[in-house]
Structure 1
Amino acid sequence: MRSPADFDEETGRRSDFAKDLYQHKNHLFRSWFLELLMLCLLIIVLFVAFSDSDLSWFEKLYHHSQYHSLFNHSHQFGSPAYRVTPTHKNMLNTIHKSIESPALQSGGLQYHQAYPHNYQFVMDNTEVCKNNAPFLVLIVPVAPINIAAREAIRQTWGKDRLVQGEVVITLFMLGLHEGADVEKLKQENEQHHDLIQSNFMDTYLNLTIKTMVIMDWLATRCPTAAYAMKVDSDMFLNIDNLVLMLQKPGIPKLNYLTGMLMWDIPVIRSKSSKWYVPEEMYPDPKYPTYTLGMGYVFSNDLPAKFVEVSKSIKPFNIEDAYIGMCMKKLGLSLTPPPNPSQFKTYNSKYDRCEFSTIITYILGSSENLIKYWSDYKKPGPHC
């Protein structure tokens, strides 16, 4: 085929015809190439989505819808969209390094980033469990700057110290945050005596560290409690129903972990996902059975066991699945709640009757918690 330069020596008519033909072929080639590229991408997406032969197509779609629903709700309630920004990438790299190069070594055991004894408490309430051994301890991981969430909980399900005849205490676990006012936090703790703060950075990717520090506090500061619950700050918690559940005769007193159980959940490998976990952090394609992190309940013998076994488990950034991994490493099984329908995620609208039957619901705001609780506590029958 002659080059365009050769055509310049021909007549104008032949030149125009050749140029038109060339442009037409070039347009067809680009269209064909783009269609082929889109087809290849579609094939890759379908292959990744359905490559796990252990899960049926229906199960795959179900698990995807679970994550998709949670992600959509985070947008609905005004939470910022999650992206793996350079800061997040740096934090993930730090976790990677902690896997390969443990911070400390002692007696052949590797102490990695999620091991809570790498951190120290900078604010504490060591006497809170000594005066009156609680039946149940509620510990809420919350950002230091999220004062509104703490105040809402103090006015609602975290208010009462005696529930169904049992002593219940509510505490808040905080890390460090550059935007937090240290003096105001001290004043808040002096007023309420319910803040615990450790010197890890309080970020989403450090939730596993935060959870393990909670376990360390329960094991060392509150070993006399019968049960504990890690419960998120955006939850409606029907504390009466929770205590009634734990009072049932058949509820185990040891090695007990319950909540909304999650089975055969595939690990998310997409870097754009909030739940992205690289293979080098967690190589298996699926997580062990775990309880959804919005709120899970456990007998208080488990925290010390979690802390000890965490020495031999590589850290990864999905905190509830990490606790499931601790249970698996300990050779323990999770227990479904007596009534699994009491542990729920999102609700489409508030219903006073329904809220009287459940234990957990994820809410959109602290304002909703106060509003719903005020209505729920009004005199008169709920249904």
Structure 2
Amino acid sequence: MRHIKKTFILLLTLAFLLSAVAYVFETTTFSQTWLNKIMNRIHYKVIKSTSADRTENDLLAPLSNQYIQPRGTTIHHYVAHPSNYHFILDEPDKCKQDPFLVLMVPVAPHQLEARNAIRSTWGTESSVQGKAVLTLFLVGLTGGAEAQHQLEEESRQHRDLLQSNFVDSYFNLTIKTMVIMDWLATRCPQAAYAMKIDSDMYINLENLMTLLLSPNTPRQNYITGHLMRNEVVVRNINSKWYVAEELYPEPKYPTYLLGMAYVFSSDLPKKLVEASKKVKPFNIEDAYVGACLKQLGVAPSSPPDSSQFKAYMGQYKREDFLRVITTILSSPQQLIDIWKDLKGPI
């Protein structure tokens, strides 16, 4: 009886040790699997886009092999080429009236206040110096069925929203920009010029139109704005602007236009989309466009007056805002207030 008891205890101990080893192995495997699931879960594709009463599970499903970059991690795979995405909300007939200039505004889905501020200010200007102007907003996925429903209601009301099925995040601004280029190339090649302009910007369309109508302004291979030269690639892993060497190995970026606002001739979007097939994507969208321009052999142009593309203006002065083309503002309300003052009596 004692021998059987000892044998039983020995077997029990052995079983415990084997279980412990298995647990360690499974925990390691599970941790990696869990991480991959979390990483995958932040990119989605849209399964249904027409039903008004769809559920969140209907709306969102994992899109495999795409990753967003948490700070301090390696990017496993990153897709920026617009052929990997499709439009959920679209306005394919907007350019049938042959606009001269198309303003494309990348904006987060939840930033309704910013969109409405633009709609009540420079977004209302449909004709400037006799030339047709069109303003459109581009967003990514909302992340929920209710938010998506609200966005669709907004789209039905204003008919100025474009939405593509990428996760809307800071890291994905390169995707967002290339989707803008794809829309321009496929839906609006007849426009003379287009501008990518952020949602927190003031724009003086009279001054911009004067620039574009100048006989010295090229109609092809033209892009201008606030030029960035000899910018060093940030390798600090804790920085918002960190780019891994595996994505962009050069120590400096080619000359590019600051992403707040740049205007370009309508032949460039198609060329940039083609170039993006050869240029490995990385997460600094304006520098990436610069890399694509370098691939094309197109050099960004300095504006005739570089002070007209101003990053920050400081304290508001009416005469300064009447002179610039673009500048960054602090809030949608500031845009509304400045616009009222500029359009009011002198």
Q: TM-score range by the shorter chain?
A: 0.7 to 0.9
Q: Please give the alpha-carbon distance, in whole angstroms, between the structure 1 residues aligned to 2:269 and 2:235.
A: 29
Q: CA deviation at 1:91?
A: 10
Equivalence for 2:136: 171
Equivalence for 1:321: 287
Structure 2 counterpart of 1:116, from 72, 76, 82: 82
Q: CA deviation at 1:328?
A: 0.3
The Cα offsets for residues 187-227 of structure 1, whole Å up to 9 and x where unpaired, read as 11111110000000000000000000000000000010000
Any idea what SS the aligned residue of 1:149 has? Answer: helix
Equivalence for 2:159: 193
| Letter aligned with residue 247 of structure 1 | L
Equivalence for 1:51: none
After superposing the two structures, state which structure 1 stretch, 331-340 or 193-202, moved more. Answer: 331-340
CA contact under 8 A between 2:189 and 2:267: conserved in structure 1? yes
Q: CA deviation at 1:185?
A: 1.0
Q: Please give the alpha-carbon distance, in whole angstroms, between the structure 2 residues aligned to 1:292 and 1:87.
A: 23
CA contact under 8 A between 2:142 and 2:148: conserved in structure 1? no
Q: Does 1:220 align with 2:186?
A: yes
Equivalence for 2:120: 155
231 and 91 in structure 1: CA distance in 2 versus 1, 3 angstrom threshold: farther
306 and 91 in structure 1: CA distance in 2 versus 1, 3 angstrom threshold: farther
Q: CA deviation at 1:97?
A: 2.5
Q: Please give the alpha-carbon distance, in whole angstroms, between the structure 2 residues aligned to 1:317 and 1:306.
A: 16
Q: CA deviation at 1:89?
A: 2.0
User: How is 1:2-151 mapped onto 2 (pairs within 5 angstroms)?
Assistant: 88-89=69-70, 93=74, 96-98=75-77, 113-130=79-96, 132-151=97-116
Q: Please give the alpha-carbon distance, in whole angstroms, between the structure 2 residues aligned to 1:156 and 1:305.
A: 32
Q: Does 1:205 align with 2:186?
A: no
Q: Please give the alpha-carbon distance, in whole angstroms, between the structure 2 residues aligned to 1:149 and 1:345.
A: 18
Aligned residues: 279
**Which structure 1 segments of 5+ residues have no match?**
1-85, 100-112
Any idea what SS the aligned residue of 2:123 has? Answer: coil
Query: Aligned-pair RMSD on alpha carbons?
Result: 1.6
The Cα offsets for residues 171-198 of structure 1, whole Å up to 9 and x where unpaired, read as 0000002156112111111111100000
CA contact under 8 A between 1:258 and 1:335: conserved in structure 2? yes
116 and 92 in structure 1: CA distance in 2 versus 1, 3 angstrom threshold: farther
CA contact under 8 A between 2:99 and 2:132: conserved in structure 1? yes
Aligned-residue identity in percent: 56
Q: Does 1:366 align with 2:345?
A: no
Q: CA deviation at 1:92?
A: 6.1
CA contact under 8 A between 1:142 and 1:173: conserved in structure 2? yes
Any idea what SS the aligned residue of 1:158 has? Answer: helix
Q: Please give the alpha-carbon distance, in whole angstroms, between the structure 2 residues aligned to 1:143 and 1:330.
A: 30
CA contact under 8 A between 2:72 and 2:238: conserved in structure 1? no
Equivalence for 2:257: 291
Structure 1 counterpart of 2:266, from 293, 300, 303: 300
Any idea what SS the aligned residue of 1:170 has? Answer: strand
Q: CA deviation at 1:379?
A: 1.7
CA contact under 8 A between 2:71 and 2:238: conserved in structure 1? no
| Letter aligned with residue 133 of structure 1 | D
User: How is 1:234-245 mapped onto 2 (pairs within 5 angstroms)?
Assistant: 234-245=200-211
Q: Please give the alpha-carbon distance, in whole angstroms, between the structure 2 residues aligned to 1:90 and 1:369.
A: 33
Give structure 1 regions of 4+ aligned residues with deviation exceeding 6 angstroms: none
Q: CA deviation at 1:87?
A: 7.1
Q: Does 1:247 align with 2:252?
A: no
Larger Rg: 1
Equivalence for 1:44: none
CA contact under 8 A between 1:135 and 1:225: conserved in structure 2? yes
Question: Which TM-score applies when normalising by structure 2?
Answer: 0.78
Q: Does 1:270 align with 2:242?
A: no
After superposing the two structures, state which structure 1 stretch, 327-336 or 180-189, moved more. Answer: 180-189
356 and 90 in structure 1: CA distance in 2 versus 1, 3 angstrom threshold: closer
Equivalence for 1:48: none
Any idea what SS the aligned residue of 1:367 has? Answer: helix
The Cα offsets for residues 268-317 of structure 1, whole Å up to 9 and x where unpaired, read as 11122221111111111100000000000000100000001100111100
| Letter aligned with residue 282 of structure 1 | Y
Q: Please give the alpha-carbon distance, in whole angstroms, between the structure 1 residues aligned to 2:73 and 2:174.
A: 13
Equivalence for 1:40: none
Q: Please give the alpha-carbon distance, in whole angstroms, between the structure 2 residues aligned to 1:229 and 1:221.
A: 15
Q: CA deviation at 1:98?
A: 2.5
| Letter aligned with residue 339 of structure 1 | D
92 and 328 in structure 1: CA distance in 2 versus 1, 3 angstrom threshold: farther
Equivalence for 2:60: none
CA contact under 8 A between 1:114 and 1:209: conserved in structure 2? yes
User: How is 1:330-341 mapped onto 2 (pairs within 5 angstroms)?
Assistant: 330-341=296-307
Question: Which TM-score applies when normalising by structure 1?
Answer: 0.71
87 and 126 in structure 1: CA distance in 2 versus 1, 3 angstrom threshold: closer
CA contact under 8 A between 1:91 and 1:205: conserved in structure 2? no
